Amino acid sequence: MSRIAARFATLKAEGRGALIPFLEAWDPDPATSMDILRGMPAAGADLIEIGCPFTDPMADGPTVQLAGRRALNAGATMAHTLAMVREFRTENNEIPVILMGYLNPILSYGTTRFCTDAAAAGVDGLIIVDLPSEEADLMTADAAKNGLDIIRLVAPTTDDARLPLVLAGSSGFVYYVSITGITGTRTASGAELAEAIPRIRKFTDLPIAVGFGVRTPAQAAEAARTADGAVVASALIDNLAASLDANGKAAPNSVRIVLDQIRELADAVRSARK
Amino acid sequence: MPLILEVEAAYNAAKADPSFQRELDDYLKNYVGRPSPLWFAQRLTKALGGAKVYFKRDELNHTGAHKINSCMGQIILAKRMGKTRIIAETGAGQHGVATATVAALFGLPCTVYMGATDVARQAPNVFRMKLLGAEVKPVTSGASTLKDAMNEALRDWVANVRDTFYIIGTVAGPHPYPMMVRDFQSVIGDEAKVQLHEQEGRLPDALVAAIGGGSNAMGLFHPFLDDASVRLIGVEAAGHGLDTNQHAASLSRGRPGVLHGNRTFLLQDDDGQIIEAHSISAGLDYPGIGPEHAWLHDIGRVEYVSATDTEALDAFQLCTRTEGIIPALEPAHALAHVQKLAPTMSPEQIIIMNLCGRGDKDIFTVAEALGVTL
């Protein structure tokens, strides 16, 4: 069983949803980013999502855009992101790690080599924001061969006619983009989620995680209870960014601020029993 | 995806409906001022000594460039789809002005995304858009230029998909835009073919057009693709030179990748990060190129060459003095190649160059480059 499937099975047995915190690789520098990653499991992360920096992150709001810019300024490359995961795996072999990124750096790396190297580094799943189902063949075979899940985005605009096509290429879990729009800008209401999640469940048995607009512990708890997991990204990066000095350098407490926030989110998610 | 599938379905339905083309033709004739003339540039021809040079004068369109051909088609489509809000990206501001113009004409609110760098260097066009009632949003993400404006417009679109139509300015972006913009711009080549037949009774020997995203070139070339005797030549912006890192030559110096929903040649580094393009012409300052150009390049049907900032500036001045036409810096790149090409051809041969925009917007840039204080 893959790490992702195993983790969701465990959580189901515990009767709760997953907290999936996000960090942008190398934001604002490799050491700080690595320390946040290392601290995430103990702070209460159930799965971890790592953003691969890209110059043109079309689906991301200002917060993640700036995180990517800081990372690229620090010299981040796809190889560096994979190296981070490889290093992390020397001390944690259980928690699922998902890479989220855009297609062009993967194409540039080479899809076959990328899937091989990502799996070898200890990556469990891929979210490729600008790879539509129609073009998914580009990655499917290489990902499957290397045991990597392809996690697809489902949006409020993904209607019942399109859902089967999107879900056909999905594995691991389904990522529900809870708003029409970009990351970190708006928040879906509990009522919207209560309507959307059962609609998707009619088409799939895969776990569903909710992202884009989950910011507070209460929102994370609600998303994790209604669906099977909550992804929190911009709210964490906002606090990380606020801790940086005028030159964008990490402060002594930058790592702790982010991990404390993850602890609060995790407490809320863990107390929201299904 | 659902939003672009909706545009595709609506466009296919419009294409099959004769009333759509009739409405577009009426606006193009009576509002835009088509057909644009095909002008035999006699003094330029004499000065260059060689092939006869004709200008397809799309700079005489309302708003001063070819961009409005496609804006008109797209806004009629938006109206058919029941969309009530228009967005666009712009680099130099020509596409933004054309979009703001048709939005005003159709009474729709319009937001134009423009890189903050371009807002600063194209102030007259920013003011034009505002006069036309558009909201101009400066984009400060990334490098604050055209590609970032396109990112921001795409972000707006996914957030406001239900009421908003995105009018893209070039033959790039997600399908069906490259095809749709090509179809709307093909009026340039269709007219030129008929006009040259009337004036010379035959096909041209070569067509030359500047390429940023590639919409004016695609519009001129497309109706001639099956005429094997016609050489088709696209001119990319070589900026400070192809061997510097300051150019916009995606075909000559880029490699295939995916950006803005299309797979094409991109300026990018070894890690697949997109590199900023440079050209003296803000309209050519895009790190990609329409995917159909990439294909025409690969099959060898179109030749792609380049012209530097300096060559374009020289051609700009040649055009003003020999023909009394102030061209935009974009077609000045095409003319820079015509300067090289015409003397190698015989006086019986014919070149048509797309004079796709007028240069009023560029006089400040040109003055600065020539060291003149206005």
Mean pLDDT, residues A128-149 taken together: 95
Q: Name the band, by pLDDT with cuts 50, 70 and 90, for residue A182.
A: confident
pLDDT in tens, B316-373: 999 999 999 999 999 999 999 999 999 999 999 999 999 999 999 899 899 999 999 8
pLDDT recorded at residue A146: 98
Residue A222 confidence (pLDDT) above 80:
yes
pLDDT recorded at residue A191: 85
> Is position A192 annotated as part of the catalytic site?
no
Residue A171 confidence (pLDDT) above 90:
yes
Q: Name the band, by pLDDT with cuts 50, 70 and 90, for residue A41.
A: very high
pLDDT recorded at residue A274: 73
The residue annotated as part of the active site, out of A49, A124, A222, A238, is A49
pLDDT recorded at residue B233: 98
B window 153-212, beta carbon within 8 A of A: 154-155, 158-162
pLDDT recorded at residue A213: 86
Contact B272 A185 (CB under 8 A): no
Report the alpha-carbon distance of residue B191 to residue B69 in Å, rounded: 13
pLDDT recorded at residue A169: 85
Residue A9 confidence (pLDDT) above 80:
yes
Residue A17 confidence (pLDDT) above 80:
yes
- How far off is chain B from A240, nearest CA to CA, in Å? 19
pLDDT recorded at residue A33: 98
Contact B155 A182 (CB under 8 A): yes
> Which sign, positive or negative, has the C-alpha torsion B360, B365, B366, B367?
positive
- Give the chain A residue nearest B258 (alpha carbons): A104
Q: From the list A56, A79, A105, which residue is nearest B151 (CB)? A: A56
Report the alpha-carbon distance of residue A245 to residue A84 in Å, rounded: 24
Query: Is B366 in a helix, a strand, or coil?
Result: helix
Contact B147 A56 (CB under 8 A): yes
Residue B374 confidence (pLDDT) above 90:
no
pLDDT recorded at residue B144: 84
> Hunting for tokens 């795996």 — which residue is that?
A89
Alpha carbon separation from A262 to A19, A38, A97, A219, B60 (Å, rounded): 9, 13, 16, 13, 60
Q: Which of B144, B112, B147 is nearest to B128 (CA)?
A: B112
Tokens at B232, concatenated: 């088709």
Rg, C-alpha atoms of chain A: 17
ipTM rounded to 2 decimals:
0.94
pLDDT in tens, B168-217: 999 999 999 999 999 999 999 999 999 999 999 999 999 999 999 999 99
Let me know how long chain A is: 274
Q: Name the band, by pLDDT with cuts 50, 70 and 90, for residue A11.
A: very high
pLDDT recorded at residue B361: 87
Mean pLDDT, residues B143-165 taken together: 91
Residues with Cβ within 8 Å of residue B153, at least 6 apart in sequence: B87, B88, B89, B113, B166
The residue annotated as part of the active site, out of A27, A29, A60, A117, is A60
Q: Name the band, by pLDDT with cuts 50, 70 and 90, for residue B236.
A: very high
pLDDT recorded at residue B248: 93
pLDDT in tens, B30-76: 999 999 999 999 999 999 999 999 999 999 999 999 999 999 999 99
Contact B266 A104 (CB under 8 A): yes
Report the alpha-carbon distance of residue B99 to residue B70 in Å, rounded: 9
pLDDT in tens, A245-261: 999 999 999 999 999 99
Contact A162 B151 (CB under 8 A): no
Mean pLDDT, residues A197-215 taken together: 95
Q: Among A35-44, A190-199, B130-139, which is the least confidently predicted range? A: A190-199
Whether A158 contacts chain B with CB within 8 A: yes
How many Cα neighbours within 13 Å face the side chain of A228?
23
pLDDT recorded at residue B145: 84
What pTM value is reported for the model?
A: 0.94
Residue B12 confidence (pLDDT) above 80:
yes
Tokens at A256, concatenated: 């702790």
- Give the chain A residue nearest B151 (alpha carbons): A58
Give the domain range for residue A10: 3-270
Chain A environment of B148 (Cβ under 8 Å): 56
State the total domains in chain A: 1
Percent of chain A with pLDDT over 90: 89
Q: From the list A61, A77, A157, which residue is nearest B2 (CB)? A: A157
Mean pLDDT, residues B252-271 taken together: 96
Burial pattern B3-31, b for ≥16 Cβ within 10 A else e, equals bbbebbebbeebeeeeebeebbeebbeee
Choose from A104, A130, A137, A212 for mutation: most chain B CBs within 10 A.
A104
- Give the chain B residue nearest A157 (alpha carbons): B2
pLDDT recorded at residue A178: 87
Q: Could you tell me which residue, A213 or B224, shows the higher pLDDT? A: B224
- How far off is chain A from B311, nearest CA to CA, in Å? 31
Task: Indicate which CATH number applies to the domain containing A99.
Answer: 3.20.20.70
Q: Work out the mean pLDDT of chain B and round it to a whole number.
A: 96
Mean pLDDT, residues A58-75 taken together: 94
Q: Which of B336, B357, B2, B11 is nearest to B188 (CA)?
A: B357
pLDDT recorded at residue A68: 97
pLDDT recorded at residue B122: 85
pLDDT recorded at residue B297: 97
Choose from A60, A106, A108, A153 for mutation: most chain B CBs within 10 A.
A108
Report the alpha-carbon distance of residue A268 to residue B296 in Å, rounded: 57
> Is position A222 annotated as part of the catalytic site?
no
The secondary structure of residue B301, as a DSSP letter, is S
Mean pLDDT, residues B256-264 taken together: 96
Phi (first) and psi of residue B264, to 5 degrees: -160, -175
Chain B environment of A182 (Cβ under 8 Å): 155, 158-159
pLDDT recorded at residue B228: 98
Q: Among A137-141, A226-230, A270-274, B235-239, which is the least confidently predicted range? A: A270-274
Residue A272 confidence (pLDDT) above 80:
yes
- How far off is chain A from B152, nearest CA to CA, in Å? 7
Mean pLDDT, residues A44-60 taken together: 96
